[in-house]
Structure 1
Amino acid sequence: MSSVTQQINQAEQEITQIKQQVDSKKAEFEQQQQALIDSINSNESIPDEQKQTLIAGIKKLTSQQFMDEQQQKAEQLKAKVDKVQELSAALQKLSKGGEDIQSAINKIADGQSQLYDGQTKVYNGAVKLADGEKQFNSKFAELNSGIADAHTGAGKLADGQQQIVDGLKKSEQGSAALANGLTQLENGATKLANGSKELTNGSSRLYDGSSKLSDGTSELHSSLADGAKDAKDVKADDKTYSMFSNPTDLKSDKQNNVDKYGVGLAPYILCIGLFAGTLMFSAVYPMKEPSIRPTSGISWFLSKFSVITIVGMLQAAIAVTALLWGLHLNVTSIWHFYIFTMITGVTFFTLILFLTTGLGKVGQYLAFIILLLQIGGSAGTFPKALVPEFFQAINPYLPMTYAIRGFREIISIGDDFGYVWHQAGVLGIFAAIFITLSLIMFYINARKEKHHTEEEAAA
C-alpha cells in the first residue's frame, strides 16, 4: 500500500513538473513573440501598413490553440491525480482499520482492484502527457523556425523597399535637377537672344537719335537765326495784335434747339401729369365694382378696360392740345406726339387697374409709391449716372423711363422716330403684362361672385 502511495505521489510530482515546463515554455515563447513584435514596431524603415501585416502574420503563426489544448490536457491529468489522491485517502483510511483486517479482506481486494485501475489510468495519462510534450516541442520548434523566417523575410522586404524608395527619390531628384537645368538653360538662351536683340535695336535707335538730334540742333539754330532776321523786318500794327489775340474763329452748331429750360423738362412733367391724372380718376371712379352683375370675368374686365382706355386717350389728347396750342410747345412731329402720349396714358391706366383690382385702396396707395419711385428713378431731371445707385438699379423697370425717352426724341431731337417706336413697344409690353394680370384678377373675382350668388340662392 505504501508503494502504491509513493507511486501516486511520484506521478503527481511528475505531472506538476510537466505542467511547470509547459508554463515555462509558454512564457518563453510569448517573450520571444513580443520581442519580435517590438523589433518590427521599432524599425522605422517598414511602413505602418506592412508592420500591421507582419504582426498579424506572426500572431497567426502562434499556436495559441495548441497551447490551450495542452493546458486542458494538463488540467485533465490534474483532475485524474485528484481522483488518485482521493483513492489514496481511502487507502489510508483502510490502513487505519488494520485491526479488522480479517473482516475487511473483501474490501481490501476491492481496494487493490481500484488501485490497479488507478495505476493503469495514471500510466496511460503519463504516456499521453509524454506524447503531448513531444508534439508541443515539435510544434514549438516549427513556430520558432517560422518566426525566424518571417523576421528574416521582413528584414529583406524592408531593405528592398528602402532601396526602391531611395532609388525613386534619387531618380526624382535627378529628373527635377535635369528639368530645372534645362529650363534655366532655355531661359538663359532666351534672355541672351532678347538681350542681344535689344542691344542691337538700342544701338540703332541711339545712332538714329544722335543723327536726329544733330539735325534738329542745326535746324533750330538756322531757324532761330532766320526768325531773328524776320523779326527785325516785322512792323506790328493793330491787325497784327488782333491776329495774336484771336487766332481762330469759333462757330457753334446746335443739334437740338432747346431755347427754354421748361422745354427740356416737358417730357418729365408730362409723364407725372398723366400718372397723377390716372390716380385722380381711380379715386372717383369704381375701378373694380361692376355697375351690373357680370356674367363672366372677361365681360367684367372689358367693361372696365373700355372705360379706362377711352379716358386714357382723352386725357392724353387734352394734355397734348394744351401743350401745343396753349403753351405753344414746339415738337418735331405732332402726330407722333399725340399717338405716343395716348400709348403712355393707357399704359399708366392698366397699371392702376391691376393694383386697384387686386388690392383695392391699398393698391391706390402702392400706385402713389410707384409714382414717387418713378419721379426719382426715371432720369427725368438728371442723367441716370448722376442719381443714387438705388434709382439706377430700378430705372430699367419703370414705365415712365421709356415714356420720358420717347417724349424727348419727339419734342427736342426728332432725328430717329424708330427709337420712339421702340420705346412705345416697351410701354406696350408693360401694358400687356398689366392687362393679363388684371384679367386674371377679374376672373378670380367673378368666380367668387358666382359662388357667393349660388350660396345666397341656396339660402
Structure 2
Amino acid sequence: MKKVFQIYKDDWKRIFSVPTGILLTIAIMFLPSVYAWVNIKAMWDPYQDTSGLKIAVTNLDKGGEVRGKQLNVGKEVEENLKKNKKLGWTFVSQEEAERGVKHGDYYASLLIPEDFSSKMASVLSKNPERAEIVYTVNEKLNAVAPKITGKGAASIVEEVSENFTKEVDQAVLTEFNKAGIELERELPTIRHIESKVFALEKQLPQLKAMGNKIIALDEKMPELKEKSQKIVELEKELPKINEVGNSVLKVEENLPKLREVGNEILVIQKKLPAIERAADKVVEIDKNFYRIEQAVDKGIEDAQKANKIVAAAQQELPKVAKIAEGGSAFANELNDFLEKNDGAFETVAPVIKQNLTLMQQIADSAVQLTEAIQAEDFDPQKAVSSAEFTKERLQTGVAIIDRTVSLLTKLNEYAEGSPLTGTIERLNNVKQNFQQQIEVLNKIENAIKNGEQPAKELVDQLNQLATSASGTLGDILAIYDTDIVPRVNQALSKLKTAAKTSSQALQTAKEKLPDIQQVLKEAQSSVQFGLEELQKIKKRLPGIQKEIHEAATAISGKMDDFTTSVNEAAVFVKNDLPSVEKKVHKAADFVRNDLPAAEKEVRKVSRLVQTKLPEMQKSVHQAAELIRTDLPEMESSIKDAADKIRKFEGERNLGDIIELLKNDVKRESDFLSKPIKLKEEKLFPVPNYGSAMSPFYTTLSLWVGAMLLISLFRTDVVDPENQYTVYHVYFGRLLTFLTIGVFQGLIVSLGDVFLLHAYIVEKFWFVVFAVITSIIFVTITYTLVSVFGNIGKGLAIIFLVLQFSSSGGTFPVSLTPEFFQKINPFVPFTYAVSLLREAVGGMLPEVIRKDLLALLFFFILTILFALALKKPLSGITKKLAENAEKTNILS
C-alpha cells in the first residue's frame, strides 16, 4: 500500500508542478459538466413554445341544416383556431397550402371540405355520412414536428366532434321532452286502471305462499302435536332442573375460596426462583460439608494450642508476683517471664479473629434458617429443632462478644488514642442484634409449635437482623489484619515495654500485674469457651450433615416436579380460571333471574298445549281444504286480466319512459357528448422534460468524462528503477483517476442542482449517487485501458454506444430492438440512470438497494478482472503499444 500511495502522491506533484497540467486537469473536471448542462438545458421544455410550428388552414365549408336550423361547423372551427395559440395556425387558400407544405413553408395543413357541415347534419337522417378534415404533413422536415402537429389536428377533430354531438343530442332530447309532457297528462287515468289489477296480481304470490304455509302446517300438525308433548314432559322435569340450579349457586358461593387458592399459587410461582436458589444452596452445602468439618477441626486444634500457651503463662505469673517483692530481682524475673512467654501474647490477636469468625458463622446460620422457613416444603419439626440450635448459638455468640469486648477494652487502655473504641462499639451493636434475633426466634418457634405458618414480617425481620450482623462482622474481619491487629499488637507491646522499664517502670509493672493477669484470664476464658463451642458443634455435625443430605436428596428428586406443577397450576389460574368464573356467574345469574320466569313460561305453554292445540288443529285443516279447492281458479282469473293490460301497454313501463323523456336536456346532452372523464394522477411528478432527462445526460456525461481521462492521461507509470509491480501501478494510478472522477461527479451534479435548478427531490443523494457513478465508470474505463492498452479505449467507446441504446435513458427499453432489451440488465448505465432517477423523482429503498448492489458488483468485477489479467497481459499490451508507435500515427 505504501508504494501505491507513493505513485498517487507523485502523480499530483507532477500535475501541480506544471501550470498546463493544472489547467488541463481542471478542464477535464469541468468538460463533462458542460456536456450535460448544455443538453439538459436544451431539452428543458421542448413543447413549451410550439407556436412557431406553422400549419396551413383552408376552410371551404358551405354549411348545412339540421331540422330547419342552419349550421356552419367549418366557420366555428376557424374561429376557434384563431383563438388557439398552441400552434402557428395560418389561414390560406388551398393552392397556397399545398405549395407551402410541399416546399417546407408549413409543417402540415388542414383542409375543411365544402360538404363538412352537411355531412355532419346527416346524423339524424336514415343514411348518415361521416365528415372528414384532410390533414397533410411533410414528415421529412423534422422527426418530432409531425408528432406535435398530428396531436394538434387530433385535438381539433375531437373538439369538433364533442361540440357537434352536444348540439345534436340537445335537439333530439328537446323533442323527447315534449312527448314526455304529453304522456304525463294522461298518465293518471292509465295508472288508475292498471294499479287496481296489478295490485291484486301482486298479492297473488303472497296469497299462494300463505296458502302453501297453511297446507304445510296442516300436514305437520301430527308432528307438531307429537313435539308439543315434549313441553309437557319438560314440565315434569322442572324439580330436577331446580336442583341443578341450586348446585350452580353453591359453586358460585365457593368461587372466592377457589380464587384465594389461585392467588396463593401465583404467589408461590413468583417465589419459585427464590425457592430454587434456596434448594441450590442446600445442595451446595451438602456437597461442601466436608469443608465445614475441616474448619471445625482446625479451629479446635488452634484453640487447644492457644489454651496451652495461655495456661503456661498463667502458671508462671504467680512466680513473677513473688519475685516482684524482691525489688530488682523482680525486674529481672519479669523480663525473663516476658521473653519466655512472648508467644502467649502473640496468640491474643488470632484468638480474637477466631471468635469474630465464629460469630459470623452464627449470624449466617440464622440467615439459612429463614431461607428454610420460606421454602414451601419446609418440615415444621426440623424447623423447631433448627430454631433451638440457632438460639443456642446466638446465646453463645453473646457470651463470646462479652469476653471479646472485655479483652479489647483492656487492650484499648494501653493503645495510644484508644484506637479500638470503634470496634468495641460495633461488637456491642452485634450483641444487641443477637439478642433481638433470639426474641424473634422465640416468636417464630411458638408459631410453628402452634401449627401456624410464621408471619412473613417476623421471618423478614430475622433475615434482615442476621444479614446485618453478618455484614458488620464481615466488615470488621475485612480490616482486622490490616487495621485492628496492629493496634492490638501495639497495646500488647506497650504493656510489655511498661514492664521492662527502670525502677519506676518496675513499680508500674508491679501495679499492672493484675491487669496482665486479667488479660491472660480473659484470653484463657475466651479460648476455653471457643474450644467448648467448637467441640459441641463437632458433636452435632453428623446429625446436621444427615439432615442436610436428606434435604438435598429430596430437593434434587422433587424440585423439577414441584416447579412444573406450580407453573401448570399458575397457567390455569391466569388463563382459564377467569373464564370459568364468568361462566359460573352467568349460569348462577340465569338460575337466580331467568330460571323462575322460564319455569313459569314452560308451565303456561304446557297448559296451552293440553287445552288449545286440538281446536287449532281443526281450524287449520278447514282453511287448508279451502285453499286446495278455490284458490287456483281465482289466481287464473286475476293473471288473465293483468296480461291483457300489459299487452295494451306494449309490455313497457310508461312511467319510466315519461321520466326518461322529461330529464334535463342540457345535462343529458353534456353527458352524451363526453360520457367519460379521464382522471390523471401522477405518482412521481417531474415538472419539466429537462429535469426528467437530467439522470440520463448526467450519467452519459460521467462516462464521457471517464473517456476523456483515459484519452488524455497515461495509465502506465515511468519507473526506470523497476521498483513498482504492475499491481502497484494499477492501484496507484487508479487513485489519481478516481480523484478526478469524484470532482467530475461533484461538479456535474452540483451544477444540475444550483446552476440549472433542475427539479430534484433528494438533492444530497443525487450528488452522492453521481459521485458513486463516476467512481464506477472511471474504474471500468481505466481498467480497460490499463489491461488492454489502446484497444481498451475502443472497447470503452463500444460500451458507450451499447449502453446509450440499452439503458432506457431516452426511450423505454421495451421500445428498442430485442438485442438491446436483452443486454439491458448487464450494463452499468441501466443502474446508474435508475439510481439518479430515484433521487430526482422520489426514492424507493428497494430500488436504491438493487441499483447500488448492481453498481458495486460491476466495481468488484472490474477490480477482479484487473487482478486476474493485468499481469498476464502486460507484456502483450506493451508490445501492441510499441507497434502502434512505429506507425507514427497511432499512440
| TM bucket, shorter chain | 0.3 to 0.5
RCO greater where, 1 or 2, for CA within 8 Å and sep 6 or more? Answer: 2
Instruction: Return the TM-score normalized by structure 2.
Output: 0.24
Determine which structure has the larger helix proportion and give its number: 1
TM-score, normalised with respect to structure 1: 0.45
